[in-house]
Amino acid sequence: MYIKKGFFMSEYKRKYEWYRHHAWAGLGLLSVFLAIRYFIFLPNLISLPIVFALIFYILVSLAYTYKYSVALSKEASDKLEKERIKAEIEKARLKLEKKRLKAQIKARKKEGKD
| Same-domain pairing of 50 and 95 | no
User: Is 92 among the domain residues?
Assistant: yes
Per-residue pLDDT tens digits for 40-64? 998 999 999 999 999 999 999 999 9
Answer yes or no: is pLDDT of 5 > 60.
no
| Same-domain pairing of 14 and 53 | yes
User: Is 36 among the domain residues?
Assistant: yes
Q: Give the range of the structural domain holding residue 82, as residue numbers without chain letter.
A: 70-114
* Average pLDDT value over all residues in the chain: 86
| Same-domain pairing of 76 and 29 | no
Q: Count the domains in the chain.
A: 2
pLDDT at 75: 65
Taking the CA atoms of residue 66, residue 29, residue 52 and residue 13 in that order, the dihedral angle to the nearest 10 degrees is -20
Can you state the angle between helices 9-39 and 70-113, rounded to 10 degrees? 130
Per-residue pLDDT tens digits for 51-99? 999 999 999 999 999 988 877 776 667 777 788 888 889 999 999 999 9
pLDDT at 113: 75
User: Is 1 among the domain residues?
Assistant: no
| Same-domain pairing of 13 and 64 | yes
| Same-domain pairing of 104 and 59 | no
User: Is 14 among the domain residues?
Assistant: yes
